[in-house]
Chains A and B, each alone.
Chain A
Amino acid sequence: MNAHLLAGPILLPLAAAALQLLLGERRRGAASALGALSCLGLLGFALALLAVVGDGTTLVYRIGGWPARFGIVLVADRLSALMLLLTAVLALALLPVVLGRWRRPGSALQPLAQFLLMGLNGTFLTGDLFNLFVFFEVLLAASYGLALHHPSAQRVGAGLHYIAINLLASLLFLVGVSLIFGVTGTLNMAALAQLVPQVPANTRALLHAGAAILGVAFLVKAAMWPLGFWLPRSYAAAPSAVAAMFAVMTKVGVYVLLRLSLLLFGAGAGAASAGFGSGWLLWGGAATVATGVAGMLGARELSRLAGYNVLVSSGSLLGAIGVGQPAVIAGALAYLVVSTLAVAAFFLLAGLIAPRDDAEEAPLLEAYDPGGLALYADEDESQPTQPAPVRLLAGGFFIAALLLAGLPPLSGFLAKFALLAPLVGAGAEAMMLFALIVAGGLGTVVAMCRVGIQVFWEDDWVFPPIHNGAVASVAILLGLCLLLTVLGEAPMRYLQATAAQLHWPDGYIRVVLP
Chain B
Amino acid sequence: MELVLALAIGVLGGSGVWLLLRPRTFQVVMGLTLLSYAVNLFIFCVGGLRLGADPVLREGAGLIEYADPLPQALVLTAIVIGFATTALFLVVLLASRGFTGSDHVDGKDGAP
Could you tell me which A residues sit within 8 Å of B by CB distance? 130, 133-134, 137, 140-141, 144, 148, 151-153, 156-157, 159-161, 163-164, 167-168, 170-171, 174-175, 177-179, 181-182, 187
Contact = CB atoms under 8 A, between A and B. Distances in A.
Interface in B7-57: 20, 25, 28, 32, 35-36, 39, 42-43, 46-47
The secondary-structure label for the interface of chain B is: helix
B90 to A, nearest CB: 10
Which 9 pairs, one residue from A and one from B, show the smallest C-beta to C-beta distance? Answer: A182-B46, A153-B99, A178-B43, A178-B46, A156-B96, A157-B107, A137-B81, A156-B95, A171-B39
A153 B32 contact: no
A133 B35 CA distance: 17
B106 interface: yes
B105 interface: yes
B96 A170 contact: no
A152 B99 contact: yes
Given A130-B74, A157-B107, A171 B35 contact: yes
Contact of A161 (B74, B82, B84, B105): B105
A153 B74 contact: no
Contact-residue size bin, chain B (C-beta under 8 Å from the other chain): 20 to 34
B32 A174 contact: no
A353 B48 CA distance: 58
A148 B32 contact: no
A196 B77 CA distance: 26
Contact of B85 (A159, A167, A187): A167
B38 to A, nearest CB: 8
A159 B28 CA distance: 14
B71 A164 contact: no
Contacts of B70: 181, 187
Contact of B36 (A137, A152, A164, A171): A171
A141 B78 contact: no
A157 B88 contact: no
A179 B99 CA distance: 41
A52 to B, nearest CB: 31
Nearest to B78: A174
Contacts of A134: 77, 81
B66 interface: no
B20 A141 contact: no
Contacts of B43: 174, 177-178
- Looking at A134, A140, A157, the one whose CB has the most chain B CB atoms below 10 A away is A157
B35 A153 contact: no
Contacts of A171: 32, 35-36, 39, 82
Contacts of B93: 160
A151 B92 CA distance: 10
Contact of B96 (A157, A167, A175): A157
29 contacts: A133-B78, A134-B81, A137-B81, A141-B85, A151-B99, A156-B95, A157-B99, A159-B92, A160-B25, A160-B93, A160-B105, A163-B85, A163-B89, A164-B28, A164-B89, A167-B86, A168-B32, A170-B82, A171-B82, A174-B42, A174-B78, A175-B39, A175-B42, A178-B46, A178-B71, A178-B74, A181-B47, A181-B71, A182-B46
A179 B89 contact: no
Nearest to B84: A141
A156 B39 contact: no
A144 B89 CA distance: 9
Interface string B57-98: 000000000000011001001100110111011001101100
A288 to B, nearest CB: 24
Nearest to A183: B46
A133 B92 CA distance: 23
A181 B92 contact: no
Given A137-B81, A137-B85, A157-B100, 19 more contacts: A134-B77, A141-B85, A151-B99, A153-B107, A156-B92, A157-B96, A160-B96, A163-B85, A163-B88, A164-B105, A167-B85, A171-B36, A171-B82, A175-B42, A177-B43, A178-B43, A181-B70, A181-B71, A182-B47
